[in-house]
């Protein structure tokens, strides 16, 4: 879940967002996408929003599912909250659970259920009614947690209102630097563990492989790729349409651009490592290469789906529903072809490279063999 949220956020930040907004209502639930969007209509059920700046300015009865660079929940939520972004602010009460991921996460509204947070800077200034699962580089607690807590950090700060009523599992590489006042939690209810043990929480020693596990993994991968493609199509329809046309019109050219882009990024990681000084930066270049390849696969799968729909006479996807259909068609087709030994992997690689090439052309607009200036 953590990787999915960050992959979604990173993919969105890689694309130039447009000002167009898309709104859709079904059964009382609200779906919205755009560069800067705000929900301020009353009597909504659940809320699904994605964009650059996302605000919830009206109370909702159901759950909130939000993603963007900046995410703000400013009104009560009757269900649970799922939010991811660079800057995430929970400003009002949540009746259910809250699952939040971002660089800076601020919680100023009470959470009646369980709290799950992943971030670099995490500030909790409102009560948590159940358990809390928190991981951050710097965590500040200034409110009570009614249940058990598991916190992974090397820097833990407490305000006057901090209190943990249940047990605390503290995962840290520097326990000597973290002081736990008696006013926060009694020493006999604390278990101190190494940060490395955090990755093993809840994982069985042996995971037997079953056919339904394989099928579930396959369908899960298809759904993730399709949803990401559909969300990007809703946020930046013109940009994605232009990249899709470029892939379908010149597949080998875009594949070549993608090959050059990924080669440059991987080569940059190697060259940075050779300088010794840049060895600490080279992992970032590799991560960028992986992100570019993943984004390319999403774009390529969507282009494949659109091409299949055009081939059977449905025409270019011009509505949100048609774009969603193209996303799922392409993701399913690419997933099925990927099951073919050897050839399937080569096809997936070609799809990812073609999509990456279209992304590079859309963002950088490179020009070769230009005439020399006189």
pLDDT tens readout for residues 63-77: 999 887 889 999 999
* Residues β-bridged to residue 32: 23, 49
pLDDT tens for each residue of 108-125: 999 999 999 998 999 999
**Alpha helices, DSSP H only, in the chain?**
2-14, 211-235, 237-249, 251-274, 282-311, 320-338, 343-364
pLDDT tens for each residue of 228-281: 888 888 778 888 899 999 999 999 999 999 999 889 888 888 887 777 767 777
Q: How many CB atoms lie within 10 A of CB 111?
A: 30
Asked if residue 323 belongs to a domain, the reply is: yes
Taking the model in full, what pTM does it have?
A: 0.56
Asked if residue 104 belongs to a domain, the reply is: yes
In the predicted structure, residue 50 carries a pLDDT above the cut 70: yes
Asked if residue 83 belongs to a domain, the reply is: yes
CA–CA separation, 88 and 94 (whole Å): 15
Note the Cα 313 to chain centre separation in Å.
34
Asked if residue 374 belongs to a domain, the reply is: no
Residue 164 sits in the same domain as residue 257: no
According to the model, what pLDDT value does residue 16 have? Answer: 45
- Classify residue 341 by burial, with Cβ atoms within 10 Å: 0-12, 13-18, 19+: exposed
Residue 61 sits in the same domain as residue 95: yes
Residue 22 sits in the same domain as residue 164: yes
The answer to whether 65 and 5 have CB atoms below 8 angstroms apart is no
Residue 193 sits in the same domain as residue 226: no
Residue 162 sits in the same domain as residue 248: no
Asked if residue 241 belongs to a domain, the reply is: yes
Q: Within 13 Å, how many C-alpha atoms sit on residue 201's CB side?
A: 16
The answer to whether 122 and 140 have CB atoms below 8 angstroms apart is yes
Domain boundary among 199, 232, 249: 199
362: Cβ–Cβ under 8 A, 6 or more apart, which residues? 15, 16, 239, 242, 243, 246
Q: For residues 111, 112, 117 and 123, what is the CA-based torsion angle, rounded to 10 degrees?
A: 30
pLDDT tens for each residue of 170-205: 999 888 889 999 999 999 999 999 888 876 554 444
More confident residue, 16 or 341: 341
CA–CA separation, 303 and 7 (whole Å): 20
User: What is the percent of the chain with per-residue pLDDT over 70, rounded to a whole number?
Assistant: 85
Residue 269 sits in the same domain as residue 330: yes
Residue 149 sits in the same domain as residue 255: no
The answer to whether 36 and 20 have CB atoms below 8 angstroms apart is no
Strands 144-145, 98-107: pairing is: unpaired
Note the Cα 123 to chain centre separation in Å.
20
Residue 346 sits in the same domain as residue 305: yes
The listed range with the strongest mean pLDDT (32-36, 130-134, 312-316) is: 130-134
The answer to whether 267 and 278 have CB atoms below 8 angstroms apart is no
- As given in the structure block, the two tokens for residue 43 are 């009597």
Q: Choose among 149, 190, 198: nearest CA to 172.
A: 198
What average pLDDT is seen over the chain?
83
Residue 106 sits in the same domain as residue 183: yes
Asked if residue 209 belongs to a domain, the reply is: no
* Residues of the domain holding 310: 218-364
The answer to whether 50 and 70 have CB atoms below 8 angstroms apart is no
Residue 191 sits in the same domain as residue 332: no
Residue 279 sits in the same domain as residue 166: no
In the predicted structure, residue 306 carries a pLDDT above the cut 70: yes
Q: Choose among 209, 212, 207, 156: nearest CA to 181.
A: 156
Residue 257 sits in the same domain as residue 143: no
Asked if residue 211 belongs to a domain, the reply is: no
Asked if residue 112 belongs to a domain, the reply is: yes
How many structural domains is the chain composed of? 2
């Amino acid at each position: 879940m953590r990787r999915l949220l960050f992959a979604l956020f990173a993919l969105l930040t890689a694309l130039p967002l447009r000002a167009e907004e898309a709104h859709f209502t079904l059964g009382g639930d609200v779906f919205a996408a755009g560069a800067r969007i705000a929900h301020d209509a009353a009597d909504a059920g659940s809320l699904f929003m994605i964009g650059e700046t996302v605000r919830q300015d009206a109370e909702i009865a159901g759950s909130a599912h939000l993603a963007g660079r900046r995410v703000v929940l400013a009104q009560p939520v009757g269900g649970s909250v799922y939010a991811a972004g660079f800057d995430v602010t929970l400003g009002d009460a949540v009746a259910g659970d809250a699952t939040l991921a971002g660089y800076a996460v601020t919680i100023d509204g009470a959470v009646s259920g369980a709290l799950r947070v992943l971030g670099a800077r995490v500030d909790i200034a409102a009560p948590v009614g159940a358990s809390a699962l928190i991981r951050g580089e710097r965590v500040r607690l200034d409110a009570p947690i009614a249940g058990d807590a598991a916190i992974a950090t090397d820097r833990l700060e407490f305000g006057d209102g901090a209190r943990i009523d249940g047990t605390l599992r503290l995962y840290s590489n520097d326990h000597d630097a973290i002081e736990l006042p008696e006013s926060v939690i009694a020493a006999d209810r604390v278990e101190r563990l190494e940060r490395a043990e955090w990755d093993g929480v809840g994982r069985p020693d042996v995971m037997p492989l079953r056919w339904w596990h394989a099928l579930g993994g396959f369908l899960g991968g298809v759904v993730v790729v399709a949803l990401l493609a559909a969300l990007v199509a809703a946020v930046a329809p013109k940009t994605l349409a232009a990249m899709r046309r470029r892939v379908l019109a010149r597949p080998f050219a875009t594949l070549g651009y993608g090959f050059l882009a990924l080669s440059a990024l991987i080569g940059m990681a190697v060259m940075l490592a050779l300088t010794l000084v840049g060895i600490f930066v080279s992992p970032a270049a590799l991560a960028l290469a992986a992100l570019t390849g993943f984004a390319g696969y999403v774009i390529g799968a969507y282009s494949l789906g659109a091409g299949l729909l055009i081939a059977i006479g449905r025409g270019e996807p011009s509505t949100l529903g048609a774009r969603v259909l193209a996303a799922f068609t392409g993701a399913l087709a690419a997933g099925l072809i990927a099951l073919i030994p050897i050839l399937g992997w080569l096809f997936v690689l070609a799809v990812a490279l073609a999509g990456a090439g279209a992304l590079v052309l859309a963002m950088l607009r490179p020009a070769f063999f230009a005439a020399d200036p006189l």
